[in-house]
Structure 1
Amino acid sequence: MVGPGWHHPGHDRENRVLRPPVSVTTEPGSLGSQPALFEYAWRLHQQDPDSPLPRDGEPYPDEKRHPHRQRVRTRKNQRLQGADVAAILEVYFGRADASPSELVDAFCEVDVPIHHNEHIAAAALRADRRRVRRTGRWLVRHSTDRCSATVGLALLATDWADEDIPLIQTIGLLSHRFGPLAAEALRRRSGGGQALLWLAQRVAGWGRVYVIEALCRDGAYASRRWLLRHACDGDYLNGYFAGQVATAAHLHEAIVGTEADDDLVDHTGRLLKIMAGCGGMGMTLEHYPPAPIVLAAHVAHLGRQRPTVDRYVDAAVIADQLADKTPERSGCTSEQRDDLVRQYLTVLDRQEWGDAVRAGLDPAGDFFAWFAGNPAARLHLRAFTGLTDGKR
Structure 2
Amino acid sequence: MSAPHARPTPAPSLYAYARSLRDAAPDTPPPWGGHPLPDTARPPYGTGHHPPYREAREAVTRLLLARLTAPDTDRAAAETERALVATRVREQLVFPTAAALDHADPAAARTLARRLVRHGTTVHGVAAGLGLLARLGEPEDVPYLRELGALAETFRYVVAALDPLDRPGAALVWLIHRARGEELRRLVEAVAARDPEAVRDRLPRLPEAPRGFGPETARRVAEATGIADRLARTPEDPVLLAQAVRLLAKATGRRADQIEILRYDRAPALYGTVAERAHLLPPDPDHQARLLTLAQDLHSGPSRLLDWPPGRRETVLRRLLDAVREPRETGRRADWIRHTAGHLRERGPAAPARLRIEVAVSDPADPEFVETRLLVDGRPLVPEVFVHGPGDPPERLLDTGSLRAGTEPREVRLAEAYCTEGCCGALYVTVRREGRHVVWDGWRRPGRLPGLPAYRFDADAYDAEVARAEHDHAWTWPARQTARLITAGLRDRPGLLTRWGLRQGWISTDFGAPDTTVVTFDGPRPDGTGDPRQYLWRLPDDGRPSAERAAEALRRMAEEDPRTFPERP
Under a length normalisation based on structure 2, what TM-score does the superposition of the two structures give?
0.35
Higher helix share: 1
Structure with the bigger RCO (C-alpha within 8 Å, sep 6+) is: 1
Higher strand share: 2
Larger radius of gyration: 2
Under a length normalisation based on structure 1, what TM-score does the superposition of the two structures give?
0.47
